[in-house]
Amino acid sequence: MGEIIHGLIVTVIGMGITFLVLIILSYVLDLFRILAEGPSKKEDDLAEHVEEINPIIEDSNVEDTSSGDDLELVAAITAAIAASMDTTADRLVVRSFRRIGTKTSKWNNLLY
C-alpha cells in the first residue's frame, strides 16, 4: 500500500508540474497576443480584401442580397472585378462570395 500512496504523490506532483508549466506557457503566450495586437489588426483588414469571388460575367437577373453590409461588399467586389476586366459594373453580377477560412492553409500540405 505504501507504493500506491507514493504513486498518488507522484501523480499529484506530476500532473501539478505538467499543468504548472503549460499554464505559465499559456499566460506567456497571452503576452504574445498583446505584443501582436497592433500588427494582427492590420492583417485582419487585409484579410477582408482577399475574398473569394465567383463572378458570373453575363447579364442575368440580379439576385437578392439580404443585408446592407453584404450589398456594400458586393458593390466593392463588382467594381474591383469590373476594373480588372476592363468592363463596366452593370455588366457583372456577383452571385455568391465567401470568406476564405483556414481551410486553405499550408497545413494541408504538410505530410508527416
Partner 1 sequence: MSFINILMETLKDLMVTSGFAGLTFSHVLMIGISLILMYLAIEKEYEPLLLLPISFGMLLTNLPLAGLMAEPANGEVGGILYYLYQGVKLGIFPPLIFLGVGAMTDFGPLIANPRSILLGAAAQFGIFFAFLGALGLKYIVPFINFTGAEAASIGIIGGADGPTAIYLTSKLAPHLLGPIAVAAYSYMALVPIIQPPIMRALTTKEERMVKMEQLRPVSKTEKILFPIIVTILVSLILPSAAPLVGMLMLGNLFRESGVVGKLVDTASNALMYIITIFLGTTVGATASAENFLNPKTLGIIALGLVAFSIGTAAGVLFGKIMYKTSGGKVNPLIGSAGVSAVPMAARVSQKVGKEENPTNFLLMHAMGPNVAGVIGSAVAAGVLLSIFGS
45 near partner 1, judged by CB under 8 A: no
Per-residue binding letters, 93-112, with partner 1 (x by CB under 8 A): --------xxx-x-x--x-x
d(CA 98, CA 2): 62
d(CA 95, CA 58): 11
C-beta of residue 53 within 8 angstroms of C-beta of residue 43: no
Binding site for partner 1 (CB under 8 A): 3-4, 6-8, 10-11, 13-15, 17-30, 32-33, 35-36, 39-40, 43-44, 47, 101-103, 105, 107, 110, 112
